[in-house]
């Protein structure tokens, strides 16, 4: 399959931004524009309600919304289905005292998704290292009506986990730079990845994996953190299962009592799981989620979730 063929099998996904209006209203509005509920592949004007992700709709791959007032006003977010998985798996609290971090935020699709799941309550720190991408992030957050987000143009690795500001942080989303090898409809997702020009692929992947490992270990140093989601839009085990394996073997995971969340906490209804042969314990693969471009009607993606075992006597898988 060529990249174009695989891209043609990926619907145009639209996440209704529930911070700005309810999904039922969005559906009514789309129907009044001539769309109808059917299959995204049946007709140019057909759309479906996603079976895995709440508030997600899928349209024919040719449908464009970039000039649509619904997109420009932040009522809908153009976000691939797989890229909605991390916020759902993180399941941030929506209470007034909730404190959550999005460690690598720009352009902000997952940040606004987290903010919506938190119903604009509590506080969501959104870090972004790159200045230009940070500016895209702030535009996107204000358009999406995210009022509980504090965007900061800061390198997450320089953030002191022991700073009292962060003592109540319980949930961290970590979606760092990766090779982007899972992205097939690149034009749509150009903003989500940092493309680096390097010929030595293996060396590049190893370098990215080293950085990704450092980021997850840093997240584990926040004293109150209970749940960390690590995701990539890569299909390479080096950036996915191998990073998970190295995290689990790290001093940070051991001293912090972190392990993988059980499979029933990580999108249990999703069929494609991690690669067993790439892990120390093949049984851990069931806790990991993968998406394969062309096969799963999404871009390639990987999601893992680390949880802190608060009772030292209870042992998770
Ligand atoms: N989560 C975003 C979304 O869904 O819209 C996409 C994130 S993108 C894959 C990774 C981002 O992390 C890039 O914007 C990159 O500039 C940023 N980044 C990389 N290293 C970082 C660091 N150490 N601290 C903060 N941001 C970082």
The CATH class, in words, for 3-78 is alpha beta
Annotated binding site for S-adenosyl-L-methionine: 128, 155, 175
The CA distances from residue 138 to 111, 171, 212, in Å, are 11, 21, 24
| pLDDT at res. 190 | 45
286 band by pLDDT with thresholds 50, 70 and 90: very high
Distance of CA 209 to the CA centre of its chain: 17
| pLDDT at res. 210 | 98
| pLDDT at res. 312 | 56
| pLDDT at res. 283 | 98
151 CB near ligand 1 (under 6 Å): no
Annotated binding site: 128, 155, 175
ipTM above 0.95, yes or no: yes
Question: From the alpha carbon of 109, which atom of ligand 1 is closest?
Answer: 5
Is 233 one of the annotated active-site residues of the chain? yes
- pLDDT tens for 176-190 read 999 999 998 754 444
Of 301, 263, 49, 307, whose CA–CA distance to 170 is shortest?
A: 307
| pLDDT at res. 313 | 58
* 192 pLDDT higher than 50: no
Domain with CATH 3.40.50.150 in the chain: 84-308
- pLDDT tens for 225-259 read 999 999 999 999 999 999 999 999 999 999 999 99
* 80 pLDDT higher than 50: yes
| pLDDT at res. 139 | 97
15 CB near ligand 1 (under 6 Å): no
Instruction: Indicate the pTM of the whole model.
Output: 0.94
Structure tokens that stand for 102 in this block: 């999005």
| pLDDT at res. 106 | 98
* 204 pLDDT higher than 90: yes
- pLDDT tens for 119-166 read 999 999 999 999 999 999 999 999 999 999 999 999 999 999 999 999
Structure tokens that stand for 98 in this block: 């909730």
177 CB near ligand 1 (under 6 Å): yes
Domain with CATH 3.30.70.1170 in the chain: 3-78
Q: Which fold has domain 84-308?
A: Rossmann fold (3.40.50)
CA gyration radius, the chain: 19
10 Å CB burial of residue 268 (0-12, 13-18, 19+) is: exposed
């Amino acid at each position: 399959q060529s990249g174009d063929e695989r891209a043609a099998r990926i619907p145009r996904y639209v996440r209704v931004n529930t911070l700005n209006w309810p999904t039922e209203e969005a559906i009514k509005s789309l129907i009044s524009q001539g769309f109808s509920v059917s299959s995204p592949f049946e007709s140019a004007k057909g759309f479906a309600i996603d079976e895995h992700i709440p508030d997600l709709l899928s349209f024919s791959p040719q449908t464009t919304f970039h000039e649509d007032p619904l997109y420009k006003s932040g009522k809908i977010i153009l976000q691939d289905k797989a890229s909605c998985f991390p916020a759902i798996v993180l399941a941030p609290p929506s209470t007034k005292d909730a404190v959550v971090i999005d460690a690598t935020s720009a352009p902000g699709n997952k940040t606004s998704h987290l903010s919506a799941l938190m119903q604009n309550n509590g506080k969501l720190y959104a870090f972004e290292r790159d200045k230009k991408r940070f500016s895209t992030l702030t535009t996107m957050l204000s358009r999406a009506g995210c009022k509980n987000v504090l965007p900061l143009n800061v390198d997450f690795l320089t953030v002191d986990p022991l700073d009292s500001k962060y003592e109540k942080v319980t949930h961290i989303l970590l979606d760092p730079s990766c090779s982007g090898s899972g992205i097939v409809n690149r034009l749509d997702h150009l903003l989500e990845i940092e493309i680096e020009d390097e010929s030595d692929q293996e060396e590049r992947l190893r370098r990215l994996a080293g950085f990704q490992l450092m980021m997850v270990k840093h997240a584990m140093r926040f004293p109150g953190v209970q749940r960390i989601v690590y995701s990539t839009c890569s299909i390479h085990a080096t950036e996915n299962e191998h990073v998970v394996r190295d995290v689990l073997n790290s001093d940070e995971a051991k001293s912090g009592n972190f392990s993988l969340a059980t499979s029933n906490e990580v999108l249990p209804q999703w069929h494609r799981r991690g690669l067993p042969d790439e892990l120390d314990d093949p049984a851990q693969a069931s806790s990991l989620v993968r998406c394969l471009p062309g096969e799963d009607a999404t871009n390639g993606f990987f999601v893992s979730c680390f949880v802190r075992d608060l009772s030292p006597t209870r042992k998770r898988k």
